[in-house]
């Protein structure tokens, strides 16, 4: 089986490489060949054209890419151009005994994990999957050993033809949180159960006062309570690895849980004692989220 990884010069490449070796075997095991299609810098502008050409030449069975801004733009384009399926935002993958590749994706609002199998996969018509950064962990020792011993074939995608899409005319940096949720040791995460933008603001202030970061679920972003997607945790948001995660008013959909699976300690506050998030928590509190926020504010004198 031939696996191609679209390498955008992003750490997600090492995470995909580690996962590919875990699932399909090492390059010298004889069970698979792994090729990196490297696309860095200017080549981005015509990446889809170049990748399509490289897929036609290399004829991979599986094409993996990070669900970065570029990956999310290119993956559906490749699906249409190659006449194949794309498993977007997969959280795991398996190789079945009959050689079928299965991608696992949260479905039905995150209540179940669906198995996606792309039909009629063959060399040159690969199964395509995108994976958010940090969903998989990179094995740094394995990756450096593979690189040092040149055990991977790397194909550099060269810029080609005229750029036909959008052009970057300027950049406007968005305001950054004091503590980035990707690096925070403490995350207070707010869900729909916070109920209002005012309560979200209280949670954000409390996180700041405690030297942590505030994260949120999809409904909080969609409701426009304040945070944007850079604070959202889950399969379409960020994956985090804090020492302590405290969730307030969060149900525990798989889309969100995938983003917190590497937290050391998970504490959850929910007024529903049957909330799914309690199954994934180390400590649970069946309380009104606002009451717990008030108690913490009082404790630290906010």
Ligand X SMILES: Cc1cc2nc3c(=O)[nH]c(=O)nc-3n(C[C@H](O)[C@H](O)[C@H](O)COP(=O)(O)OP(=O)(O)OC[C@H]3O[C@@H](n4cnc5c(N)ncnc54)[C@H](O)[C@@H]3O)c2cc1C
Which residues in this chain contact ligand X in the complex, by CB under 6 A?
109-110, 191-193, 195, 217-219, 232-237, 249-251, 253, 255-256, 269-272, 275, 288-289
User: Judged by CB, which is closer to ligand X: 35, or 65?
Assistant: 65
- Is residue 108 within 8 A of residue 99, CB to CB? The reply is no
Q: Which residues pair with 40 in a beta bridge?
A: none
User: Judged by CB, which is closer to ligand X: 193, or 212?
Assistant: 193
Least Cβ distance, residue 279 to ligand X (angstroms):
12
Least Cβ distance, residue 140 to ligand X (angstroms):
26
User: Judged by CB, which is closer to ligand X: 20, or 250?
Assistant: 250
**Distance separating alpha carbons of residues 63 and 54, to the nearest angstrom:** 11
User: Judged by CB, which is closer to ligand X: 26, or 68?
Assistant: 68
Least Cβ distance, residue 106 to ligand X (angstroms):
7
CA dihedral 18, 24, 28, 31 (to 10 degrees): 180
Least Cβ distance, residue 76 to ligand X (angstroms):
14
User: Judged by CB, which is closer to ligand X: 50, or 235?
Assistant: 235
SS3 (DSSP) at 4:
strand
User: Judged by CB, which is closer to ligand X: 159, or 285?
Assistant: 285
Q: Which residues of 7-30 are buried (b: 16+ CB within 10 A; e: fewer)?
A: bbebebbbbbbbbbbebbbebeee
Least Cβ distance, residue 173 to ligand X (angstroms):
23
Helix (H) or strand (E) holding 79: helix 69-82
The Cα-based distances of 274 to 23, 191, 277, 285 in angstroms read 35, 16, 9, 11
Least Cβ distance, residue 192 to ligand X (angstroms):
3
SS3 (DSSP) at 2:
strand
């Amino acid at each position: 089986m031939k696996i191609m990884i679209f390498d955008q010069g992003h750490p997600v490449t090492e995470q995909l490489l580690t996962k590919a070796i875990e699932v399909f075997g090492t390059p010298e095991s004889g069970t698979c060949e792994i090729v990196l299609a490297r696309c860095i810098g200017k080549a981005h502008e015509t990446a889809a054209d170049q990748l399509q050409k490289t897929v036609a030449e290399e004829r991979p069975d599986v094409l993996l890419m990070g669900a970065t801004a570029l990956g999310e733009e290119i993956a559906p384009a490749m699906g249409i151009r190659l006449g194949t399926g794309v498993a977007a935002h997969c959280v795991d993958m398996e190789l079945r005994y009959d050689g079928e590749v299965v991608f696992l994706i949260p479905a039905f609002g995150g209540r179940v994990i669906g198995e996606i199998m792309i039909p009629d996969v063959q060399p040159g018509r690969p199964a395509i999957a995108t994976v958010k950064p940090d969903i998989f962990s990179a094995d740094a020792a394995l990756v450096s050993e593979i690189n040092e011993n040149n055990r991977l074939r790397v194909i550099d995608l060269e810029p080609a033809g005229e750029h036909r899409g959008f052009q970057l005319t300027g950049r406007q940096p968005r305001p950054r949180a004091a503590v980035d949720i990707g690096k925070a040791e403490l995350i207070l995460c707010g869900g729909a159960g916070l109920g209002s933008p005012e309560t979200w603001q209280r949670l954000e202030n409390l996180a700041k006062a405690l030297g942590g970061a505030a994260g949120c679920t999809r409904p909080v972003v969609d409701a426009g309570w304040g945070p944007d997607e850079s604070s959202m945790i889950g399969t379409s948001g960020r994956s985090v690895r804090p020492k302590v995660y405290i969730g307030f008013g969060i149900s525990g959909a798989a889309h969100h849980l995938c983003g917190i699976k590497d937290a050391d300690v998970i504490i959850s506050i929910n007024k529903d004692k049957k909330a799914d998030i309690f199954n994934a928590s180390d400590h649970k509190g069946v309380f009104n989220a606002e009451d717990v926020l008030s108690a913490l504010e009082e404790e630290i004198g906010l």
